[in-house]
Amino acid sequence: MMEERVLQRQIEAAYGLSVQSITLLRDSGCLAYRVDTADGAYFLRVTKPLFEKTTLDALSVQLYLLEQGFPVPPVIRTSDGAPYAQQKTDDGVCYEILYDWIDGEEVDPETDAEAIGTFVGDLHRVMQDYPGQLPEWDRAYMIDRYLNIMRRKNYPGVDAFAALGEELWARVDSLPRGYCHGDLYRGNLLKTTDGKYYLLDFDTFCRAFSQYDAALICNMTDYFTPEPDGFAKTRAVYERYLSTYTKVIPLSSAEQAAVYDLIAIYHFSLQATIIELFGLIVWITHSLTGSMPGS
């Protein structure tokens, strides 16, 4: 493909690498590639102009975590020492960010709950001293975005969703906020063959309820097809997660209990994000087929 040949020349010029092949892995919020070179494999993210600020915020977080020795994929510097290459397009600036390729697979919370609890606790501890500013995920972002979409589409059941959103937010509004990953599902935690864990995807780091991360990684309910034992599995995984997380970050009883409300709030936020990124028709299609965009 011409696009990949152009991208190959750009990477070779910026990084001084001899590229053998570039393979597209997915196209969602950004383009993700595997880059094979004479020196080994790399992971490449090519961001879209719409997400320029998000990209720079995410890279700032990742570089900070690297400086603190937290396990995230190393960022490869360009030949002139920059953490990214950039290309100007008619729509704006695209950033090309290259990482070491790390072999592994997504974690299984039912197997790795205790290790994940320690890992996320360490993440939240390290992020307490993060010097930068990140987006605030408040009620407007987590609840009202979806309600506003339904109102614009004249959805007849919006009042019932609004009442549920009001009730859910009242239960969590008084909880303390902190930095959190914001999209900590199992695909964003990589486990290598030698048992090491790496955090992936930094675009959703935010100031919100830290327990929101627990809600996502411990959630064993299926997003599209409710399972009878989903809640019981979630509770079991969450209790094991808490047994180690709270050794790193103490939590009040209210914070510990809030995880189930936060799972419901996550559904409000996720519905809005899917529609914003992919449009209403794609959301309906994926709702019917039971799969997520980019999966």
Summarised one tens digit per residue, pLDDT across range 92-118 is 899 999 999 999 999 999 999 999 999
pLDDT band at 280 (very low <50, low <70, confident <90, very high): low
d(CA 55, CA 70): 20
Locate the DSSP E strands across the chain.
19-27, 30-37, 40-47, 85-89, 92-100, 105-106, 178-180, 189-191, 197-199, 206-208
Please report the pLDDT score of residue 27 as a whole number. Answer: 85
Tokens coding 162: 């609004």
| Average pLDDT over every residue of 129-155 | 95
DSSP secondary structure letter of residue 19: E
Q: Is 217 exposed, middle or buried (0-12, 13-18, 19+ CB in 10 A)?
A: buried
Q: Which amino acid is at 123?
A: L
| Average pLDDT over every residue of 265-294 | 68
d(CA 36, CA 105): 19
67 or 292: which carries more pLDDT confidence? Answer: 67
| Average pLDDT over every residue of 118-122 | 98
Q: What does the pLDDT look like over 12-52, one tens digit per residue?
A: 999 999 999 999 998 877 899 999 999 899 999 999 888 88
- Per-chain mean pLDDT for the chain: 91
DSSP secondary structure letter of residue 136: B
| Average pLDDT over every residue of 169-195 | 95
Torsion angle, CA of 74/75/78/81, rounded to 10 degrees? -90
pLDDT band at 295 (very low <50, low <70, confident <90, very high): very low
Whether residue 2 has pLDDT greater than 70: no
Q: Tokens 């100007």 sit at which residue? A: 88
Torsion angle, CA of 246/126/48/214, rounded to 10 degrees? 0
Whether residue 214 has pLDDT greater than 90: yes
Whether residue 244 has pLDDT greater than 70: yes
Please report the pLDDT score of residue 109 as a whole number. Answer: 97
Q: Determine the Cα angle at 247 with ends 229 and 106, to 5°.
A: 50
Please report the pLDDT score of residue 50 as a whole number. Answer: 83
Please report the pLDDT score of residue 157 as a whole number. Answer: 93
| Average pLDDT over every residue of 204-231 | 91
Whether residue 169 has pLDDT greater than 90: yes
Whether residue 252 has pLDDT greater than 90: yes
| Average pLDDT over every residue of 137-142 | 96
pLDDT band at 294 (very low <50, low <70, confident <90, very high): very low
Please report the pLDDT score of residue 175 as a whole number. Answer: 96
Closest CA to 1 of 16, 18, 20, 23: 23
Whether residue 293 has pLDDT greater than 60: no
Please report the pLDDT score of residue 49 as a whole number. Answer: 87
